[in-house]
Amino acid sequence: MARTFWCVAAVALGAVIASAQTRPAKTLDIYVVDVEGGNATLFVSPSGGSLLMDAGNGGAGAARDAGRIVEAAKAAGLTQIDHMVVTHWHGDHYGGLAELAGRMPIRHFIDHGPPTAPPAEAVQRFLQTTYPELHANARHTIARPGDAIAVAGLSVRVVTSNGDVIGAPLPGAGRPNSLCGSPPSVKFIPDDHESVGAYVTFGRFTALHLGDLTSNKEYELVCPTNRIGTIDVLLGLHHGQDTSNSAPFVHAVRPRVAIMNNGTRKGGWPEVMKTLFTSPRFEDLWQMHFSLLSGQEYTVPGVFIANGVDDQPGALPIAPQPLPPPGPGAPPPPAHNGPAHWIKVSAQADGTFTVTNARNGFSKVYPPEIQGTR
């Protein structure tokens, strides 16, 4: 019996070695691109299928951010974006879209539909004139919770859109969530709560990106039963702002790793950092930037941080800095328009994933958990 087992194992091992020699590694690659406190997260499947969530900032930042996204797409070997999800109609998410579409073909546009609350004038103009031109020669889909996005080689499920959440648990999920308490009251910010959220799986690897979804909608997703289950990587985190990332949500989905798309003075709030650091099963937080709002007190070691600022000081403050009152008199955040670096996740079908900081090459492997511990 034992001898038969070893023979089979040897044959299987030989097959693995042979295949490893004859074809490149087959991984899902995720590029979290630095768009200065906006969002641009690119998923590339083993067969080259692509899904981009958001296109960074508009205005003066559009060329910079679109350029950084194209750089990541080229590094991944892409010549087009197959599926473009605009999570919601805020300038730090859709702003760079027209610029990007001018540099790289986009075949399919996905969004949550028009904003429910009357949008800002710039958004209205974009939706009435620019956006229809962008998707005139492509597919356009208004996402609904439960929809699948057909990215070759991946399973991508829409879990939130337009203020609605999935009605039934994802496969394997649906346990009661003892952390719920009463629903959170959140400051209303139009459109954040309508974000398109996506749950992405590749074999045993799982990732979740909810755009800027607010805590009241997080609550609907995981209370009273947790419809998401547990995940390997939580992406975005609404830049690390405290209108999202509530403990009943984060501690229920129990990410092993989070990658935060914060800016130099945007997100990374101490309360959010504490929620992450106290989350069961949590291993590491990776950040796009050091944030003045978290200070050294709440941030992670620099090796996990992808970007500095153009005029990098010799030392960074220990205490969190207060957010200046908004308005025209507010000083600008420290600028970062020079070279930028992404954080890359490479996931294998067995659940192993590697996260790499492109600034310093620091890389960490997260082996799959033993079956039955999820």
Where does this chain bind Zn ion (CB under 5 A)? 92, 212
The rounded distance, in Å, linking the Cα atoms of 217 and 227 is: 12
Q: How far is the CB of 237 from Zn ion (least distance, A)?
A: 10
The rounded distance, in Å, linking the Cα atoms of 234 and 353 is: 13
Structure-block tokens of residue 183: 């629903």
Q: Which is nearer to Zn ion, 87 or 226 (CB)?
A: 87
Q: How far is the CB of 351 from Zn ion (least distance, A)?
A: 30
DSSP string, 179-211: T--SPPP----TTGGG--EEEEEETTEEEEE-T
The rounded distance, in Å, linking the Cα atoms of 256 and 353 is: 11
Q: Which is nearer to Zn ion, 83 or 266 (CB)?
A: 266
Q: Which is nearer to Zn ion, 111 or 212 (CB)?
A: 212
The rounded distance, in Å, linking the Cα atoms of 60 and 79 is: 25
Q: How far is the CB of 371 from Zn ion (least distance, A)?
A: 37
Q: Which is nearer to Zn ion, 46 or 211 (CB)?
A: 211
The rounded distance, in Å, linking the Cα atoms of 305 and 343 is: 9
Q: How far is the CB of 125 from Zn ion (least distance, A)?
A: 19
Q: How far is the CB of 211 from Zn ion (least distance, A)?
A: 8
Q: Which is nearer to Zn ion, 82 or 92 (CB)?
A: 92
Q: How far is the CB of 35 from Zn ion (least distance, A)?
A: 10
Q: Which is nearer to Zn ion, 28 or 123 (CB)?
A: 123
Q: Measure the CA angle with vertex 122, ends 118 and 125; round to 5°.
A: 85
Q: Phi and psi at residue 215, in whole multiples of 5°?
A: -60, -35
Residue ranges of alpha helices (H) inside 126-246 are: 131-135, 215-222
| 75: enclosing H helix or E strand | helix 62-75
